[in-house]
Amino acid sequence: MNMLEALLGDQAGGAVDQLSRQFGLDSSQTSSALGALLPAVAAGFQRNASSPSGLEALLGALGSGRHGQYADDLQSLAQPGTVDDGNGILGHIFGSKDVSREVARRASAQSGVGTDVLKQMLPVVAAMMMGAMSKRQFGGAPAQGGLGAALGQGGGGGILDMLAPMLDSNRDGSAVDDVIAMIGKFMGGR
């Protein structure tokens, strides 16, 4: 299962179609771009959620109810406010525009899609991922179960449970080694 399917389920194909139209790419280019961007964004979420203040901010944003629209209505990804939301998300998970630019540059080298296109796509991808996490975490309903449920403690299917399989690129059952490698790759090599 690829990361986009893990994130959006049945809507993965619709997301590729929407982003292809939005950024003037064919579906294989969009899939390649997403394959390069999503692991970096997921690693950023994972890193951010690993600190108490970062997790608190993430849970607050997920519970606000605003982000679920990006998973429910893929056409909302083309709205101007999506880029603003996505840039805000990137600021939280990456900490600086320099990291976002480096993620786009490295994703370009990996995918063959131009850096300028990926810089434009990155905030939309962040908003889409936030929407999918919000939808999965809360299903459109108010947050319940507290911090333990949000983290996925007790088999609750929380944020960290959702991110772990997407980040376990070597399928060894643990995302820790993969996250460390991704963070080193995307943030350490600047």
User: What length does the chain have?
Assistant: 190
pLDDT band for position 69 (cuts 50, 70, 90) = confident
Among 56-60, 75-79, 166-170, the range scoring the smallest mean pLDDT is: 166-170
pLDDT band for position 148 (cuts 50, 70, 90) = very low
Contact partners, residue 134, CB within 8 Å, separation at least 6: 61, 62, 63, 65, 67, 68, 71
What's the confidence (pLDDT) of residue 3?
A: 67
What's the confidence (pLDDT) of residue 12?
A: 79
Q: What is the mean pLDDT of residues 67-88?
A: 87
Q: How many domains does the chain have?
A: 1
Kindly report the number of other CB atoms within 10 A of residue 100's CB atom: 25
Q: Give me the DSSP letters along 80-108.
A: HHHHHHHHHHHHHHHSSHHHHHHHHHHHH
What's the confidence (pLDDT) of residue 67?
A: 75
Q: What is the mean pLDDT of residues 27-53?
A: 88
Query: Which amino acid, one-letter code, is at 28?
Result: S
28-53 burial, b if ≥16 CB within 10 A, otherwise e? Answer: ebbbbbbebbbbbbbbbbbbbbeeee
Which residues form the domain of 46?
A: 3-188
